[in-house]
Chains A and B, each alone.
Chain A
Amino acid sequence: MKLTLKIWRQKNAKSKGKFVIYKMENVSPEMSFLEMLDALNKKLVETGDEPVAFEHDCREGICGSCGMYINGHPHGPVPAVTTCLLSMRYFSDGDTITIEPWRALPFPVIKDLIVDRSAMDKIQIAGGFISVNTGAAPEANSILVQKKNAEDAFDSAICIGCGACVAACKNASAMLFVSAKISQYALLPQGRVEAKDRVRAMVEKMDELGFGNCSNTGACEAECPKQIKLTNIARLKREYYKAY
């Protein structure tokens, strides 16, 4: 395939960015999107240019490192995949692909397609844990969890913290991200003990860091590569009301 790539290049947080056009030839439909960018970078390095900076690590959709806007969609046009698992077979010969970093106030650009997502860690630090010291845990089967609740908690717990939900949201809201963690613990007896403190602390931190409010558009759910459900946000709201 021949492709035209329109990629956001920005030297650092302080400098102004711009789109740069690159032509790619011989792109195999078997490649993943990031392998296609690897091939571009190889060419750029060999011809004396600086490669496009992007984050990536596991390349199997689980670490949450990668993420970029591809043709207006976080992680690209295919539902339920991360950028690293997006296959080039979904593109056609002659396509122009626009690639941008996450756009959200709490995620300042560091370089090219890399943004600073440490605000998400800060929300987790505020309360995304169960307070048990090492050595203090009771025997595992002394905590019984309904099978259905364990499964629902799992479905919330699989959030990879990539930030696509924030990037997709017109308000840059982190509600889906926060609600996934709140839900996981809300559904488990282990997490109920400090449920009120947790939801207050996490929501307060989320607001403090400049994430917007949820206006029930559902873009986050539509773009989430792990298909975290909007019902998590409903549960977050219930938990929040219960906490006051």
Chain B
Amino acid sequence: MAVQIENTQYMEKLNAKIPDGPLALKWTNYKNSVKLVNPANKRKIDIIVVGTGVAGAAASSSLGELGYNVKTFSYHDSPRRAHAVASQGGVNAAKNYQNDGDSVYRLFIDMIKGGDYRSREANVYRAAEVSNQVIDHFAALGVPFARDYGGTLNTRSFGGVQVSRTFYAKGQTGQQCLLASYASLNRQIKKGTVTMYPRREMLDLVVIDGRARGIITRNLITGETERHSAHAVVLATGGYGTIFYLSTLAVNSNATAAWKAYKKGAFFANPSFVQIHPTSIPQMNEFQAKLTLMSESLRNDGRIWVPKTKADKRPPNEIPEEERDYYLERRYPAFGNLVPRDIASRAAKERCDAGYGVGPTGLAVYLDFRDSLNKQGKKAIEGKYGNLFEMYRTITGTDPYSEPMRIYPAGHYTMGGLWVDYELMTTIPGLYAIGEANFSDHGANRLGASSLMQIAADGYFILPVTIGNYLADQIRVPGIKAEGPEFEEAEKSVADRLDKLISISGKQTAASFHRRLGKIMWDFCGMTRNEKGLLKALELIKDLRDEFWKDLRVPGSLNDLNQELEKAARIADFLELADLLVTDALNRKESCGAHFREEYQTPDGEALRNDADYTYVAAWEYAGEGKPHILNREPLRFEEAEMKVRSYK
């Protein structure tokens, strides 16, 4: 597909619909003037929600509480399995319970800076503003957050900030928040406002007269394709980090729903902004299907180091203090081990590439708790991170209480996603994207613990308000029926594609293609990128895609539970998305946040932004099979936050 970016357009197609007024009043003003749907009319309106992570479950339950008819879809057997369950560290909120000077404004500034000035001010401010309600709501729903002896909530620190604002439930905060959202979803299922469709995978979006009106799903048990219609469709389908094959994500996480929306006209924003998390357990064998994250919260008490001597093979505990290089503390004295993720990841890569890496492959650094264990005692450390230490021991067979952990960066989170306006609506009227699925509030790099915050804010507090502005005009539209040429065409194209996948009858498994795609993406479009490598990646991806459609092997039948077919369909989409991801990385001739172009760096190896030319959201538009992606630009204006060189030194 696209090697050169030929067609650029400015703005005409993008209206972010940012409300007027001062930043701190925009959300209030918006809520005061947004159109409402009266309770009797809500009952006549159907809404489809795809995905049951925190964002999807929260949106489903909140919309159900409001009285809409909600149909919720998940490819899991139960909504409780969604990957938000694996989020570990916590939820940020500007409560200032610590009296350490925190405020909504500071949380906003930290996120804007953390995102390296590539996010939309109004959205970020709103997320910070809503964060306090998120904590109130989760506490009321029974999330067993950590508490102090007086019964009040505890917090801890996360990377990229100098206050303590992260609420947590050991290293399982995501699990507890997801299960709370699952519980609120269950309450609405019981009331009959939400109908749950588990084991359904969305395989296409149905657009009628320019509006999102339904989806086509595959029933993963029977193999049947099904039509579902509604007045509006909400995608809460997560990120696309599994494009790297080895990542910290659940292995079934995929981009298919978002990619189908892209091909039906929703713009895809900043796809190359992918967060590589600095602290994952390194790959241990070639069959490995995923990498396990060790929470960023560990950097509160763990110190990261490598030996000062290259290829030092001594066991870590035999390397004396003066021969250790605590490189984050050395390079970034102000933030030390708590620099943002993009910086910590690149610093680890730099040391390993220079030959100082540890472990059998040399692709690892130490995360050492010795000093904290000596100072605070084993019990205190166990209280904070017990489950993480246990998980590390289970996976690696070594005990992190007596020996430092070995860690290395891994693909983790996608800041990019479907372009949405202030109302979280995509460029297709009636199609919304929430949670990680949108390009959201994190700019070019997400700060730790702001993901749970944003997905809950989107699902519980923002979408249920903004969607009313669209639905208020839909009350005269009678119930949408799942029929007509658009449904027929979409269902047929889904059936044709599945049929094509299963009838290639080649030799290679879907996973083997995925593994190879992941390696291309990691090598050429991972922690650092350069033009030569990206151009090469485009060719390699095209070749791999051609090979995929010639030599894929999917056993079994279409009309049955067929996990190989599920995988193949997802990887077919990843092979297309990969092209867009690389195209976006090529287009952005600057370094910002997680997007590090080797050609654009300061003499001491830090990211060098080009604000004059790239202070915009790259919103890509599908132009048709085989045609170059079209670049649309949404200029970013910073009225409150002063654009500075991001420094954590």
Contact = CB atoms under 8 A, between A and B. Distances in A.
B45 to A, nearest CB: 18
A137 B139 contact: yes
A59 interface: yes
Nearest to B61: A134
A124 B147 contact: no
B198 interface: yes
A61 B61 contact: no
A124 B77 contact: no
B284 to A, nearest CB: 5
Given A134-B460, A140-B135, A158-B175, A60 B144 contact: no
B367 to A, nearest CB: 17
A53 B146 CA distance: 39
B140 A65 contact: no
Contacts of B536: none
Interface residues of A, number: 80
Interface in B249-279: 250-252
Contacts of A125: 186, 189-190
B419 interface: no
Contacts of A11: 560
A51 interface: yes
Nearest to B146: A150
A160 B563 CA distance: 23
A132 B509 contact: no
Contacts of A38: 287, 289, 511
Interface in A41-67: 41-42, 44-46, 48-51, 53, 55-65
B210 interface: no
Nearest to B561: A111
Nearest to A133: B65
B521 to A, nearest CB: 20
A31 B136 contact: no
Contacts of B478: none
Interface in A27-48: 28, 30-32, 34-36, 38-39, 41-42, 44-46, 48
Given A56-B251, A154-B170, A130 B147 contact: no
A59 to B, nearest CB: 5
Most chain-B Cβ atoms within 10 A of its Cβ — which of A55, A121, A138? Answer: A121
Given A65-B77, A125-B186, A132-B137, A58 B512 contact: no
A144 B150 contact: yes
A11 B141 CA distance: 41
Nearest to A54: B563
Contacts of B150: 144
A63 B250 contact: yes
Contacts, number: 217
B275 to A, nearest CB: 18
B78 interface: yes
Q: Is the interface of A mostly helix, strand, loop or mixed?
A: loop
Contact of A132 (B82, B140, B564): B140
Contacts of A134: 58, 61-62, 65, 137, 184, 460-461, 464
A130 B183 contact: yes
Interface stretch (A1-9, A81-89, A235-243): A81-89
Interface string B118-151: 0000000000000001011111111011111111
A31 to B, nearest CB: 6
A131 B289 CA distance: 39
A57 B250 contact: yes
A6 B338 CA distance: 49
Contacts of B563: 51, 53
Contact of B77 (A35, A49, A118): A118
Nearest to B390: A80
Given A130-B140, A143-B139, A150-B147, A39 B287 contact: yes
Kindly name the residue among A11, A117, A140 whose own CB sees the greatest number of chain B CB atoms within 10 A.
A140
B395 interface: yes
Interface stretch (A95-103, A182-190, A216-224): A182-190
23 contacts: A42-B509, A45-B553, A51-B563, A51-B564, A55-B77, A57-B76, A57-B250, A58-B250, A58-B251, A60-B293, A61-B391, A62-B175, A63-B80, A65-B76, A87-B394, A126-B190, A130-B183, A132-B140, A137-B136, A150-B146, A154-B170, A160-B175, A190-B139
CB-based closest 6 A-B pairs: A144-B151, A137-B140, A129-B183, A154-B144, A140-B139, A153-B144
Given A55-B77, A81-B394, A144-B150, 18 more contacts: A35-B287, A51-B555, A51-B563, A53-B561, A58-B86, A87-B395, A87-B397, A110-B221, A111-B561, A121-B198, A124-B182, A129-B187, A134-B58, A137-B141, A140-B136, A140-B153, A147-B147, A157-B144
